[in-house]
């Protein structure tokens, strides 16, 4: 299983648990809404960071594969040129 999927699943579970805990805790409606907003902002920031890391990782791997493909194409073009001589 992909570690980024596991991490996103854990983050989602933590967020749901935190929101449920806040909703079930004895506090006034105003305080509860404020807590939910604060937790939501915290988790949104964490999720944004994780998604940026994932994007960077995917981009890095894609660029590596692209370079590998360019090398294969270059080798094949040289081989074809040798054969045609």
Is the pTM higher than 0.85?
no
Q: How many domains does the structure of the chain reveal?
A: 1
**Which pLDDT does position 1 carry in this prediction?**
58
Task: List the single range of 22-26, 28-32, 47-51, 70-74 with lowest mean pLDDT.
Answer: 22-26
Q: How far is CA 36 from the centre of its chain?
A: 23
Q: What average pLDDT does this structure show over 14-39?
A: 77
pLDDT tens per residue across span 44-69: 888 888 889 889 999 999 999 999 99
By residue range, what is the domain housing residue 71?
Answer: 3-84
In 3D, which of 21, 38, 20, 41 has the Cα closest to residue 30? Answer: 38
Task: List the single range of 20-29, 52-61, 68-77 with lowest mean pLDDT.
Answer: 20-29
Token pair 């604060």: residue: 38
In 3D, which of 80, 61, 35 has the Cα closest to residue 53? Answer: 61
């Amino acid at each position: 299983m992909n570690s980024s999927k596991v991490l996103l699943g854990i983050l989602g579970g933590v967020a749901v648990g935190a929101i449920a805990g806040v909703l079930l805790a004895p506090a006034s409606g105003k305080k509860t809404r404020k807590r939910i907003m604060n937790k939501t902002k915290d988790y949104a920031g964490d999720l944004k960071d994780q998604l940026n890391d994932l994007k960077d990782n995917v981009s890095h791997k894609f660029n590596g594969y692209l370079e590998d493909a360019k090398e294969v194409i270059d080798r094949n073009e040289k081989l074809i040129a040798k054969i045609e001589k």
